Structure 1
Amino acid sequence: MKKLKYILVFLFVSTVTCIERSRSAKAYLNAVLILSVGLISIGGQAQQLQSYIEEAESNNPEIQAFELQYNIAEEKVNEANWLPNTEVSAGYFVSEPETRVGAQRARIGVKQMLPWFGTINARENYATSMAEAEYVEITIAKRKLALSVAQSYYRLYETRAKQKILEENIQLLKTYEQLALTSVEVSKASAVDVLRLQIRQNELQQQKEVLEEEFNSEQTTFNNLLNRNENMSVDIVAAMAIPDKDPIYGTEALSLNPELIKYEKLYESISQSELLNQRESLPMVGFGVDYLPVTARDDAMFTDNGKDILMPMVSVSIPIFNNRYKSISRQNELRQKKIETQKEQQLNVLESAFAKAISQRNQARIKFNTQAKNLMQANDAEQILIKNYETGTIDFNDVLDIQELQLKFQMNQIESVQMYYVQQSIINYLI
């Protein structure tokens, strides 16, 4: 059951990859939230790390900046629904032209140009595609933040676990010291043996205090990731173990990495940009009306004398010199080719990082198993020494050698566990 809880920590992101097949970014995050609640209800240890990640996402200034940028991009969708300015003109005839029905005094006109059918919709689609690309940036930033929080958490665990092992070894050496003092009294050991044991205790105490400084420094880093008081205490799981089996992933899972999806969104946004460019290269149609007030003639009386003039108008704006639009189309084509090459390069980078993480995770398991065997044999050697003490023969140099080996194997085991989970967190980020 305890191993299941640890597995849940890194299964979180890997399970999410199935959800990322959804084309809606908001639906994706909602699904992640549901999954998180499920993990919290199953494993308390998974809940601890996940709660820290959620706190970091809520408080991190970089994430907030990305969200604001996305809000700006969303607002640009509303901005896209616009029409050219309505033109209103007015003029007064200083020298009034005479017409059959009277003199024209002024001219007032109103005109509205309208883009070709579908242009506004094309603008909105382009703005929406840009907003989706911005949303992927939020997903990438959250993934990177989750990776940083997890890695810092595992470093804190490593430091605390090593301190615990050091304290246990210090207590063990104190027990040996009492054995040595007893042996000195019956002339079966020398005072030098006692001093060696005390010196070894001092060395372990020094390592423990140095680790405390490392823990405080890493705790500050961790709290800064969560954007909270740097002196706040961090609850760390007491013990972690490598699970019996590793989750199996294939490189095809990398296709769902947001860093690759980002290029797909950018490619789509350029496609929408090209559709908009084609619409904007079409004519614009204008509708308007001119109003001319007329002064009635005094020298004649006839029908329509002094009748004002109302003249509806239609105009067409034709982009005859359209090299600009042709150039934009060519630029869009080149941008898409550039994005394709960038995506291919990024996939190569992700595949290399994925293979390295898998390899180092496997190395961590191999090292852990080897250290477990070594530790078992060292414990057997320790038992032999204890039995020798009962028969009255004990070499405290051997005691120190065995204790040093035990400590080495225990430290290596902790480092292997830390390395395993750090590499698993990298794998979770990549898939």
Structure 2
Amino acid sequence: MKKSIFTQYNKIKRTLYRWLIVYCVLLGGSITVVYGTELRVDDLLDQQTFHTELLSRREFVGPFVQQALRYNPSLQAADAQFQAARASIKSAGVLPNPKLQLSHFIESIQTRTGPQEQAIMLQQAIPWPTKLSRKRDIAEAQAQALWHAAISEQFKVVDKVAKGVLDIAYLEKALEISQRHLSLLEQLVAVVKTRVESGGGLSQLLHLQVEVAQVEDRLAWQTAEVASQTSMLEALLGKEEGRKRLNLSWQVPPPLREDKSLWLRASVEQSPQIKMLEALEDSSDARLRLAKLVNLPDFSVGINRISTGEAINSDMPDSGKDPWAVVVGVSLPLWQGANQAKIREANFSRQAVSAKLKALELSIKAKTRSRIIALSDAEQRLSRYQSEILPLAKQAREIAESSYLTGKADILSVIDSDRALLNLQQKYWRAAADAWIARWQLTTLSGGLWLN
């Protein structure tokens, strides 16, 4: 007589409970190590100083940096990628899910103790022990690399925002200078018209009106350019407010008191781009170590139980008793050609990352030196304009206007002196913006080092 379905269900349940105890023992070690790995990544997050947050408090650019760090979509994407990699650490380096297999015999196999009706097997794959730890190392290094990549993306956005704000600041200052220049020219037009009405030559008035039209054209272009640059900046900030101008209030940067060479050293020691490749190098090392384990076997253990019905002869010893079996398996890494190819692939990948790291270090050093040169050049231009060129240009303009009013010079001399002063004032503020931009670029290249 066959056993009832309820009896068979109880047998299966007891089997699962017994195997669950064995499985938890095997899995315990993996859970402990994964938890420790997650703690190491958390320590990395806690120990790192987020220089980008400090930069959000710097000068007039700081508020825009703060807004970009909060709302920029590319930064949100980079952070989500890191969080995904961080979450994957929990699933890396743990035992694979066990496999439950149920077999029901269409035709029962008759044995001495009764007919075999169905079989249930629970099996757990167990890779070579160090393979699991290597997988954890890979996942952890990958998460660290993506974290440094997220920080690197922050600095890239900060650099773009700073340059955008400073370019707009220069354009607004140039627009202000052009408006003052136009106002002076319009006053001069009134003087020249009076002279023309008194019998003076008309050609001077025409020259002046042409100059006024050119300044108005420059004003129109500068206004459109400010609106265009502001729109591009809002895209970086992650918010569309439809502003046409920022109306920034800013000053020429003060001279640096600290040594510029500090930026060069910090650009290699603190660069998140370099740290990202260093983490990828660690990941490549772990992948190479894992690949070298490909020639080692993996194992599997399991329990097999066969449900048996009552024997034809009910007096038969062990009639209806379910047999148990312990199943042990081992993989056979026979294909050495394929295994060696995996090792070579991992080795070349590791060499590629190392070469990229060296190339990046050279590139960052070159960019840092270039920006230091650009900063020094901008500071020298500021000094020349402030101490020599602008005072001379203002003096020449005053002399030209005075000479014109006394009849010793024509209107062309006044126009030329005004135009020269306008161009020099705009170049002065362009040098100021370039100096600020170079400082921000050096700060982002060096991982957030701000020099006063």
TM-score range, shorter chain: 0.7 to 0.9
Deviates most, 166-175 or 211-220: 166-175
Q: State the match for 2:287 in structure 1.
A: 273
Counterpart of 1:200 (choices 208, 211, 216) is 211
Counterpart of 1:85 (choices 80, 98, 108) is 98
Note if contact 1:224-1:230 (Cα within 8 Å) is conserved in structure 2: no
% identical aligned pairs: 17
Asked whether 1:427 is paired with 2:442, we answer: yes
- Tell me the distance in 2 between the aligned counterparts of 1:371 and 1:31: 34
- Tell me the distance in 2 between the aligned counterparts of 1:239 and 1:31: 23
Asked whether 1:237 is paired with 2:248, we answer: yes
How far residue 212 of structure 1 moved from its aligned partner, in angstroms, is: 0.7
Q: State the match for 1:287 in structure 2.
A: 301
Unaligned 5+ runs, structure 2: 1-41, 447-452
Q: State the match for 1:19 in structure 2.
A: none
Q: State the match for 1:221 in structure 2.
A: 232
Q: State the match for 1:161 in structure 2.
A: 173
Deviates most, 402-411 or 84-93: 84-93
Note if contact 1:161-1:239 (Cα within 8 Å) is conserved in structure 2: no
- Tell me the distance in 1 between the aligned counterparts of 2:368 and 2:328: 63
> Is the partner of 2:61 in helix, strand or coil?
helix
Q: State the match for 1:123 in structure 2.
A: 135
Note if contact 1:284-1:317 (Cα within 8 Å) is conserved in structure 2: yes
| TM-score normalised per structure 2 | 0.77
How far residue 58 of structure 1 moved from its aligned partner, in angstroms, is: 2.6
How far residue 389 of structure 1 moved from its aligned partner, in angstroms, is: 6.6
Q: Are the structure 2 counterparts of residues 300 and 374 from structure 1 closer, same or farther at C-alpha, using a change threshold of 3 Å? A: closer
Q: State the match for 1:141 in structure 2.
A: 153
Deviates most, 222-231 or 384-393: 384-393
Asked whether 1:400 is paired with 2:412, we answer: no
> Is the partner of 2:48 in helix, strand or coil?
helix
Note if contact 1:219-1:230 (Cα within 8 Å) is conserved in structure 2: no
Deviates most, 321-330 or 382-391: 382-391
- Tell me the distance in 1 between the aligned counterparts of 2:181 and 2:291: 73
Asked whether 1:63 is paired with 2:107, we answer: no
- Tell me the distance in 1 between the aligned counterparts of 2:95 and 2:134: 12
> Is the partner of 2:300 in helix, strand or coil?
strand
Q: Deviations over 1:404-426 (max 9, x none)?
A: 22112112112212222222232
How far residue 313 of structure 1 moved from its aligned partner, in angstroms, is: 3.7
Give the aligned residue type for 2:88: K
Q: Are the structure 2 counterparts of residues 242 and 113 from structure 1 closer, same or farther at C-alpha, using a change threshold of 3 Å? A: closer
Q: Are the structure 2 counterparts of residues 27 and 97 from structure 1 closer, same or farther at C-alpha, using a change threshold of 3 Å? A: same
How far residue 288 of structure 1 moved from its aligned partner, in angstroms, is: 2.5
Q: State the match for 2:384 in structure 1.
A: 370
Q: How does 1:4-403 map to 2 (within 5 A)?
A: 24-25=44-45, 27-28=47-48, 30=50, 32-33=52-53, 35-36=54-55, 40=57, 46=59, 48-80=60-92, 81-92=94-105, 94=107, 96-99=109-112, 101-180=113-192, 190-229=201-240, 231-245=242-256, 247=258, 248-250=260-262, 251-255=264-268, 256-278=270-292, 281-297=295-311, 299=313, 301=315, 303-321=317-335, 323-372=337-386, 373-385=388-400, 388=403, 393-403=408-418
How far residue 326 of structure 1 moved from its aligned partner, in angstroms, is: 3.6
- Tell me the distance in 1 between the aligned counterparts of 2:272 and 2:207: 57
- Tell me the distance in 2 between the aligned counterparts of 1:338 and 1:98: 63
Note if contact 2:385-2:428 (Cα within 8 Å) is conserved in structure 1: yes
- Tell me the distance in 2 between the aligned counterparts of 1:239 and 1:107: 81
Note if contact 1:126-1:276 (Cα within 8 Å) is conserved in structure 2: no
- Tell me the distance in 1 between the aligned counterparts of 2:311 and 2:226: 100
Give the aligned residue type for 1:222: L
The count of aligned residue pairs is 400
How far residue 218 of structure 1 moved from its aligned partner, in angstroms, is: 1.2
Unaligned 5+ runs, structure 1: 1-21
Give the aligned residue type for 1:340: S
Give the aligned residue type for 2:266: A
Note if contact 1:108-1:292 (Cα within 8 Å) is conserved in structure 2: yes
Note if contact 2:227-2:244 (Cα within 8 Å) is conserved in structure 1: no
How far residue 127 of structure 1 moved from its aligned partner, in angstroms, is: 1.4
Q: Are the structure 2 counterparts of residues 386 and 120 from structure 1 closer, same or farther at C-alpha, using a change threshold of 3 Å? A: same
- Tell me the distance in 2 between the aligned counterparts of 1:145 and 1:32: 10
Q: State the match for 2:8 in structure 1.
A: none
Q: State the match for 1:11 in structure 2.
A: none
Give the aligned residue type for 1:24: L
Q: State the match for 1:5 in structure 2.
A: none
